[in-house]
Structure 1
Amino acid sequence: MVALFEKHIKDNFPFLVKAKILIAISGGIDSVVLTSLCKEIGLNLSLAHCNFNLRGKESDADEQFVKDLADKLDVPVYIESFDTKAYKHSHKLSTQIAARELRYNWFKSLQEAFKIDYVLTAHQADDNLETFLINLSRGTGIEGLTGIPEVNNNVVRPLLPFTRDQIKIYATENKIDWREDSSNKEAKYLRNKLRLEVLPALKEVNPTFMDNFNKTIAHLNGTRGIVNHHIANLKAVLFKREKEQISIAIDELINLNPRKDYLYELFNEFGFTAWDDVENLLFAMSGKRIFSHSHRMLKNRKELLITSINPIEIEDYYELKENEKTIVKPLKLDVCDVAQIGDLKNEIAYIDKDLLKYPLIIRKWKKGDYFYPLGMRNKKLLSKFFKDEKFSIVAKENTWILCSGDEIIWVISHRLDDRFKVTPKTKHILKLEYLT
């Protein structure tokens, strides 16, 4: 197995040969064998063990086992003890998800502190099959059937082609000790039930089942690659990107067939999962929107607009004091006195300073706001101005206004109020420039 493993590394992960790697080791057979194999072929390795304190003395014994193994192999080892139950309750997570977050957050900190290039985990072929069956039982697309990725950013899983039986034979022949996790024998967990009851039956029916499964995963990954290439080309045509917004013509989406499958491939990266809602949005009234955990999808006339949801709320009100020259929040604005009007641009406003009442107010617009657009004598509701100027809903939401008391001076970067314009009678001119 050492020769097979070394060839697998050289053929598929040559970047590991000279890299500094960290092996996530539980003390179980898979991670111990991975450690042994990496040591045998001369990789530059260190070990990281998480004590989740979920099995009392058994967890402590696992920790000691890993320490002793590191001493025996003469490799660095890092140990971290977690209060997993407290983290689980405070973050309202399952035990498995809590442990995963704690583990990978710690790995990341180790990588940064010790200049580690890659983290290796000991997932193997049987784990891959279990994940495949779990996803299949819950309902999934091709993404869920391609198995555990061999490389995910800087996490590498070099044991995926090897079966649990191969690993056990290697460990037995080389008299390698490992720790047994007693919870792995409890069939109340779905993964364990599959491991203890379903997989043995599949292997009994067909002795070459695991080989065939690995071939199937390879074919599915190839198909996934073809799909990804096609979708990437389609996005390049359909997605119009402007600053932090993506717009897509709805007619183009309606003509796709099979529509719902295309919608999944196009929009799953933005966190959307309710595909009936996404499809219904194509035929909804303008202004209808749906949300994922990270993005908003909005119908605006004949387009879908996708914008990210900022988890940190920015302030929507700011007081600009007299003689204040620059502000950076909630938007970037330069303010200065000038002797005469210069370039006329939407991003620049020249104002009769003597008409202002300080502090000036910068805020988001609200229903009922009105102003006197430059060049007009009559007032106009901002909502009507936005409609006439064909503002999208997102553009309206992102529009700021500058006010003197209750009067609007400037719809920032769009239109000045006629009441505050510079005239031949103006003695002092204030220049404001909106910096994008």
Structure 2
Amino acid sequence: MLKAFKKHIEDSFPELLDNHFIIACSGGLDSMVLTDLCQQAQLQFSLAHCNFRLRGEDSIGDENFVREYGEKLGIVVYVTHFDTIDYVNEHKGSVQMAARELRYTWFEQLLVQHNIPYILTAHHANDNVETFLINLSRGTGIDGLIGIPAKTAILRRPLLPYTRQELELYAEEHELNWREDASNTDTKYLRNKIRLEIIPKLSELHPTFFDNFNNTIHYLSQTETIASACLGKLKEELFIEIDNKFEISISKLKKLNPLSTYLYGLFNEYGFKELENLEALLDGLSGKQLVSSTHVLVKNRDVLLLSPIDKKEDEEQEFLIKENLVEINHPLSLKFSVVPERYNNSLKEIFVQKNTLKYPLVIRKWKKGDYFYPLGLNHKKKLSKFFKDEKVDVLSKEEIWLLCSNEQIVWVIGMRADHRFRVENSAEEILKIEMT
């Protein structure tokens, strides 16, 4: 196995040959075999151990075992402790998910802190089958059936081609010691039930089950690659980027068949996975929206608008401008200057009668009920109606700032000045306000 492992590293993980990395080591069979293989292959690494404080003295025993092993080999061992139950109580969810979130967050911090590029985990072929079956039982698309990725930005999993049986045989042949976790035999956990009851039956049905499974995962991964390439090309055609958001034609989406499959493929990476909601949005009223944890998807007449959620605290605040201020650069760049004469207003600059302003001026976002007197019209108009007439989409409205004086709108910045502050007397001071 060692010879095959070395070739596997050379072929699939050459970056590990020249870089120091960290191995996530629990002290169990899988991680101890991975550690020994890397040691025998003369790779350069440290160990990282998480004590989740879930098993009393056994957790302490696992930690001490890994520490002593590292000392024996002269390997640096990083150790952290988690109050996992407190984390579960605070964030809800299962103990398994809490442990996963805690350890991977710590792994990322560890790599940054020590300027190390990769961390290795000891996931193997049986783990891959378990994940496949769990996803299959819950319902999933092809992305849930391609198994555990061998590589991510920081993770490397070089044991995925090997079965648990192969790891056990290697450990016995090399007289390795490891720690057993009693919870791994408790079939109340779904993963354990699959590991202990279902996978053995599958292996009985076909002696080459794991080889066949690995081939299937390989074929599915290739199919997913082809599908992703097709979806990527389709996105280039449909997703038109305008002002930091995407505009997608609804009529073009409706021509896709099968529609639900395409909708999932196009929008699931943005957090939109409910197909019924996506299809309903296409025929919904203008302004209807879906919100994920990262994006907003809004129907705006005959298009969908996709925009990232990027709410900043300062967008909810008001910014004051003193009378003698010449220039500001936050939340947007404006320059104020007294000029001898006025010119025509534009989207980027306006001219106002300075003595009509009441200081401090205020920059803020628009809110429901706002109105102004559009320059040249001299009658009141609600901003919501103004935006509709100007065909400002739902998402763009949220990015518009107002310049106000004594609660009156002086300028819908970048769009239209207010008639009440126009220059009527050139003998009075004229203030030029421009976006820079």
Match of 2:82 in 1: 82
Once the 2 structures are TM-superposed, how far is the Cα of residue 363 of structure 1 from its aligned partner?
2.4
> Partners of 2:433 and 2:247 in 1: how far apart?
31
> Partners of 2:154 and 2:340 in 1: how far apart?
58
Once the 2 structures are TM-superposed, how far is the Cα of residue 372 of structure 1 from its aligned partner?
2.2
Match of 2:5 in 1: 5
* Deviation digits for residues 387-413 of structure 1 (CA, Å, limit 9, x no counterpart): 221111122232222221132211111
Match of 2:310 in 1: 310
Once the 2 structures are TM-superposed, how far is the Cα of residue 226 of structure 1 from its aligned partner?
0.2
Tell me the amino acid that sits aligned with residue 411 of structure 1: V
Once the 2 structures are TM-superposed, how far is the Cα of residue 120 of structure 1 from its aligned partner?
0.4
Match of 2:273 in 1: 273
- What does residue range 131-280 of structure 1 map to in structure 2 within 5 Å? 131-280=131-280
Once the 2 structures are TM-superposed, how far is the Cα of residue 294 of structure 1 from its aligned partner?
1.5
Tell me the amino acid that sits aligned with residue 85 of structure 1: I
Tell me the amino acid that sits aligned with residue 421 of structure 1: R
Q: 300-309 or 386-395: which moved more?
A: 386-395
> Partners of 1:270 and 1:165 in 2: how far apart?
39
Contact 1:351–1:420 at 8 Å: present in 2 too?
A: yes
Once the 2 structures are TM-superposed, how far is the Cα of residue 421 of structure 1 from its aligned partner?
2.1
Match of 1:404 in 2: 405
Q: 390-399 or 295-304: which moved more?
A: 390-399
Match of 1:116 in 2: 116
Tell me the amino acid that sits aligned with residue 380 of structure 1: K
Contact 1:352–1:426 at 8 Å: present in 2 too?
A: no
Match of 2:36 in 1: 36
Once the 2 structures are TM-superposed, how far is the Cα of residue 153 of structure 1 from its aligned partner?
0.9
Q: Which runs of 5+ in 1 are unaligned?
A: none
Tell me the amino acid that sits aligned with residue 310 of structure 1: D
Identity %: 50
Root-mean-square deviation (CA, aligned residues, Å) is 1.6
* Deviation digits for residues 156-182 of structure 1 (CA, Å, limit 9, x no counterpart): 101000110111100000101111111
Once the 2 structures are TM-superposed, how far is the Cα of residue 286 of structure 1 from its aligned partner?
0.6
Tell me the amino acid that sits aligned with residue 353 of structure 2: D
Count of residues paired in the alignment: 435
**In the alignment, structure 1 residue 282 sits paired with structure 2 residue 298:** no
Q: 211-220 or 347-356: which moved more?
A: 347-356
Distance verdict in 2 for CA 1:416–1:167, change over 3 Å: same
Contact 1:271–1:294 at 8 Å: present in 2 too?
A: yes
> Partners of 2:64 and 2:273 in 1: how far apart?
44
SS at match of 1:19: coil
* Deviation digits for residues 237-288 of structure 1 (CA, Å, limit 9, x no counterpart): 1101123211100011111111111111100111112110011100111111
> Partners of 1:425 and 1:341 in 2: how far apart?
8
Contact 2:353–2:425 at 8 Å: present in 1 too?
A: no
Contact 1:273–1:292 at 8 Å: present in 2 too?
A: no
Q: 33-42 or 333-342: which moved more?
A: 333-342
Q: 350-359 or 418-427: which moved more?
A: 418-427
Contact 1:317–1:330 at 8 Å: present in 2 too?
A: no
Distance verdict in 2 for CA 1:312–1:419, change over 3 Å: closer
* Deviation digits for residues 41-82 of structure 1 (CA, Å, limit 9, x no counterpart): 111110000000100000010001101111222211111111
Tell me the amino acid that sits aligned with residue 372 of structure 1: Y
> Partners of 2:390 and 2:311 in 1: how far apart?
30
Match of 2:298 in 1: 298
Match of 1:335 in 2: 336
**In the alignment, structure 1 residue 128 sits paired with structure 2 residue 128:** yes
> Partners of 1:94 and 1:159 in 2: how far apart?
27
Once the 2 structures are TM-superposed, how far is the Cα of residue 339 of structure 1 from its aligned partner?
3.8
* Deviation digits for residues 2-49 of structure 1 (CA, Å, limit 9, x no counterpart): 110011111111111001110000001110000111111111110000
> Partners of 1:18 and 1:345 in 2: how far apart?
59
Once the 2 structures are TM-superposed, how far is the Cα of residue 186 of structure 1 from its aligned partner?
0.3
Match of 2:357 in 1: 356
> Partners of 1:388 and 1:32 in 2: how far apart?
68
Q: Which runs of 5+ in 2 are unaligned?
A: none
Q: 205-214 or 424-433: which moved more?
A: 424-433
> Partners of 1:4 and 1:42 in 2: how far apart?
15
> Partners of 2:173 and 2:384 in 1: how far apart?
78
Contact 1:316–1:330 at 8 Å: present in 2 too?
A: no
Contact 1:325–1:335 at 8 Å: present in 2 too?
A: yes
Match of 2:388 in 1: 387
TM-score, with structure 1 as normaliser: 0.96
* Deviation digits for residues 301-341 of structure 1 (CA, Å, limit 9, x no counterpart): 00001112235443243332222334444444333333444
> Partners of 2:5 and 2:216 in 1: how far apart?
21
Tell me the amino acid that sits aligned with residue 432 of structure 1: I
